[in-house]
Structure 1
Amino acid sequence: MSETSEISLTPSAAARVAAIAERQGKKPILRLAVDGGGCAGFQYRFGLADEVEADDVATVRDGVTLIVDPMTLDLVRGGAVDFVESLGGAAFQVSNPNAASGCGCGTSFSI
């Protein structure tokens, strides 16, 4: 694992991950991955991780670790993971400066 400042976790996202992890009795480790698919070409996938893998790149905020694999980091470098609550619901969102376009739901993007 290596530490990076090339992707960040907002305080809101860190607090939400900590609350979810505590409720589920897991470690506060959030994995962000990018998969092919979605309405714009790529889609974000979030999930709690049990451990940090050797090739993961990590950033830590308020005791919460955000991890990405090297391929995902190439697609989201310079971005931030946030947790946003609105009238439409609550969700993790990625502010990704590498995305050329995205979809209305905010879960997929294209480069």
Structure 2
Amino acid sequence: MTTPETQTGVTLTEAAAAKAKALLDQEGRDDLYLRIAVQPGGCAGLRYQLYFDDRELDGDKVDVISGVKLAVDKMSVPYLTGATIDFADSIESQGFTIDNPNAAGSCACGDSFN
């Protein structure tokens, strides 16, 4: 099975897309992007930001996955190519997770990487 080419280079699993779509539906919004970005900060040097955004920035890469518009800014694309966003819902944890093969190391909190 081959993975289809994407603009963002990021994979959004069915579970993550379904949760994002449910949150958007709950708010009655279909105009928002699920944005993932890499910003300086955190204890390991870089940290992820995952949030809903009502704007498309110049140079954004956008994919539509299961009805969810996923946006990555042009500066974050190199850090996120090959990353997978999933949604975990178990006794141990609940929330969006990011598996990034580009991260050389991460901190104990899992919120930042280098």
Deviation at 1:18, TM superposition (A): 0.4
Tell me the number of residue pairs that the alignment of Structure 1 and Structure 2 aligns: 108
**Unmatched segments (≥5 aa) in structure 2:** 1-5
- The residue that corresponds to 1:108 in the other structure is 112
CA RMSD after TM alignment? 1.7
Which TM-score applies when normalising by structure 2?
0.84
Distance 1:81 1:47 in 2: 12
Report 1:76-91 matches (<5 A): 76-91=80-95
Paired AA for residue 20 in structure 1: L
More strand per residue: 1
- The residue that corresponds to 1:14 in the other structure is 17
Distance 1:10 1:106 in 2: 19
Deviation at 1:99, TM superposition (A): 0.3
Tell me whether 1:73 sits opposite 2:77 in the alignment: yes
Deviations 1:18-67 (A, max 9, x none): 01111122225200011111121111111112133341101221111111
**Unmatched segments (≥5 aa) in structure 1:** none
Who wins on radius of gyration, i.e. which is larger?
A: 2
Report 1:43-58 matches (<5 A): 43-58=47-62
